[in-house]
Amino acid sequence: AQSVTQLDSQVPVFEEAPVELRCNYSSSVSVYLFWYVQYPNQGLQLLLKYLSGSTLVKGINGFEAEFNKSQTSFHLRKPSVHISDTAEYFCAVSDQGTGGFKTIFGAGTRLFVKA
C-alpha cells in the first residue's frame, strides 16, 4: 500500500531564507508525486508534480522538488520564501489503478514565514 510521510509538522523560517519541506513515500509500483499548498480556509492548489523524466521538477511560486528514487523522497524547496508562502503544504502520491487516480496525502507541513 502507498503511504506518504512528511517529516516535519511545522517549519518556521524567516522571510527571504531558504526552506526545504521533507517528504518520503512508500509504494511498490511506479508512482506520481505531487505537492499541494493550502492557504487558510481555502482549497488545494497544485504546486508541482513528478510523473517521469527529469528528477528536478519546477512548480509555481518559485518552488521546486527533487525526486530521489533510491531514497524514496520528494523534498520541496524554495531558495527564498515570502510572508505570503505561509500555508499548509501536502505531499501526495498517486497511481493509476482500478480505482482511477487515487491520491494519498501526507499529514501536511505548516510553513510559517516570519518577518
Partner 1 sequence: EPEVTQTPSHQVTQMGQEVILRCVPISNHLYFYWYRQILGQKVEFLVSFYNNEISEKSEIFDDQFSVERPDGSNFTLKIRSTKLEDSAMYFCASSGASGRGKTEAFFGQGTRLTVV
**Under the rule (CB under 8 A), what is the footprint of partner 1?**
32, 34, 36, 42-44, 46, 49, 51, 90, 92, 94, 96-108
| The residue to which cell 508534480 is assigned | 49
- Residue number, 55 or 80, with CB nearest to partner 1: 55
- Residue number, 11 or 44, with CB nearest to partner 1: 44
- Residue number, 13 or 104, with CB nearest to partner 1: 104
The CB-of-80 to partner 1 minimum distance in angstroms stands at: 27
Of 50, 113, 67, residue with least CA distance to 87: 113
